[in-house]
Amino acid sequence: MPLLTVQHLKKYYPVSRGLFARPAQVRAVDDVSFSLNSGETLGLVGESGCGKSTLSRLLLRLEDPTSGSIQMEDLELTGIKGEALRRMRGSFQMIFQDPYGSLNPRMSIFSVLEEALKLHTSLDAAGRDARIRELLKMVGLNPDYARRHPHQFSGGQRQRIGIARALAVNPKFIIADEPVSALDVSVQAQIVNLLQDIQRETGIAFLFIAHDLAVVEHICHRIMVMYLGRLMESAPADALCSDPLHPYTKALLSGVPQIDPSKRRRRIILKGDVPSPLNPPSGCRFHTRCPFAVPRCAEEIPEFREVRPGRFCACHLVEKI
Ligand code: SF4
């Protein structure tokens, strides 16, 4: 059984456009389905505004979905509230893009980690102290630094602290939201390697949100590509990066710099900006920017279907492009 099963998840936000105007909705997440296994890293990529952040807030149950289902093992998460939700929160955690912004500058690292342990575990003071030392060692920091404050660490060290905070309560699933994009390239590799080591040791599942496809390809087992609230393609990372099927994935990958000349692709420049989710294009949401669009694309929503074993794509012309 997968650790996480998401089915037909939707989040629509009502928007007021004046007293006499027809009510409108922003379709931030629209009919998204996927699953995630323990010990697996699933990448989620797409331009800003595609719904990645809304999807992660829904999975963390920081917002209620409009409809659809989120199951962790055999427990349905969408209906739970109050104390049951608070207890479940220990199972899923988040690593943020900006580790400095997510750490209270007035709290020592010890206090940051102890706060999480007090909230989600029954450890006594000695147990918390031992666990904090263990966590700092696990993320490659000297446990003797526990009484220091966030400003006394470098950007990479602060991200290690963010990872330690997420690990503090033994989660089953972590959403890593652009965890390395604010870091220097040399430090990015260290953090990516750290996350892979932690996954090997603990079996935690990651949803890794990023716009840098090179990083996603390196760390993820599978990748999902999202556009205007809908999934366009999902496939094992190596298959998606070496042989993308959806025109949007092809365009995203064509912009990734390649050192190896044999892997270089013809650059596909997409026309225009991402349309507003308040008034998304009819049919295929990508049709206003797709270089392969035919009249059918503006009329009929392509089904997100398995087109090859383990490969899903939402495109009418996938077999022909
Ligand atoms: Fe392009 Fe049509 Fe495929 Fe959409 S369905 S990606 S518009 S070819």
pLDDT tens digit sequence for 78-108: 988 888 888 888 889 999 887 778 788 999 9
In Å, how far are 17, 62, 168, 210, 213 from 53, measured between CA atoms? 24, 11, 23, 11, 17
Give the atom of ligand 1 at the shortest distance from the alpha carbon of 321.
8
- Mean of the per-residue pLDDT values for the chain? 91
CB-ligand 1 contact for 136 (6 Å cutoff): no
Residue 32 Cβ inside 6 Å of ligand 1? The answer reads: no
Q: From the CB of residue 257, how many other CB atoms can be counted at a distance below 10 Å?
A: 6
Q: What is the chain's alpha carbon radius of gyration, rounded to the nearest angstrom?
A: 21
Sequence letter at residue 101: G
Q: pLDDT (tens digit, 9 = 90+) per residue, 25-76?
A: 899 999 999 999 999 999 999 988 899 999 999 999 999 999 999 999 989 9
Beta carbon of 297 within 6 Å of any ligand 1 atom: yes
Q: Strands, E, within 39-84: which ranges?
A: 41-45, 67-72, 75-76
> Does the CB atom of residue 302 touch ligand 1 within 6 A?
yes
Quote the ligand 1 centre to 274 CA distance (angstroms): 15
State the closest ligand 1 atom to the C-alpha of 290, by its place in the atom list counted from 1. 1
What is the set of domains in the chain, with CATH numbers?
A: 4-313 (3.40.50.300)
SS3 assignment, position 289? coil
Q: What is the pLDDT of residue 16?
A: 77
191, β-bridge pairs: none
Question: Considering only CA atoms, which residue is closest to atom 5 of ligand 1?
Answer: 315
| Residue 44 CA, distance from chain mean position | 5
Q: What is the pLDDT of residues 160-184, one digit of tens each?
A: 999 999 999 999 999 999 888 888 8
Q: How far apart are CA 227 and CA 28, in angstroms?
A: 10
Instruction: Tell me which residue of 36, 25, 24, 30 sits closest to 11, measured CA to CA.
Output: 30
